[in-house]
Amino acid sequence: MTKSTWAIDPTHSEIGFKVKHMMFTNVSGKFTQFEATIENEDDAFETSKISFSAEVNSVDTGNGDRDNHLRGADFFDVENFAKLTFNSTSIQKENEGEYKINGDLTIKDVTKNITLEAEYSGLMKDPWGNTKIGLSLNGKINRAAFGLTWNAALETGGVLVGEDIKLASEVQFVKQ
């Protein structure tokens, strides 16, 4: 068996999320500073161990005031918790090119096991001879489970910020 290591290609990757605002529209955001590696045997995706971290200070929703609020103690508390991390614990093939990735997500000081749906591209060579793989990742978490509990009530009932966070990322990895 040959062990392979893959590094995320940040110029061709986006780590994104969506959350309901005022219970009827979605606000999108992303992290702009992140690292990830995959280690596997004989380039077989189902043998992969995935490690990911994002600099929480890099959160970007397109609104500076909102981003600063997210960085503060009401949400991510970047002064005390600079990174969020994900480490896979297992990968199961569902169908051709479709996988479930289970792993431990840590936000602030809370770690929970989550499942991500993954579409896997398989191996490809770019025009410069680099071997790459692509993943489309989707999942959902409850932000309150990770200690992100701030909210505000609306006069019409309901809350300002939804509890469910939809995770959506498009990532490329290059073989090292």
Q: Got the DSSP string for 71-109?
A: HSTTTT-TTT--EEEEEEEEEEEEETTEEEEEEEEEETT
| Burial class for 103, CB neighbours closer than 10 Å (0-12, 13-18, 19+) | buried
pLDDT (0 to 100) of residue 119: 97
C-alpha radius of gyration, the chain, whole number: 17
pLDDT, averaged in runs of 10, over the chain (176 residues): 93 88 72 97 93 97 89 90 97 95 95 97 92 96 76 53 82 96
pLDDT (0 to 100) of residue 152: 52
Cα–Cα dist 150/148, whole Å: 6
Tell me the whole-structure pTM to 2 decimals.
0.89
> Could you give the C-alpha distances from 139 to 37, 88, 113, in angstroms and in order?
19, 14, 12
- Chain CA centroid to CA 105, Å: 9
Cα–Cα dist 73/23, whole Å: 23
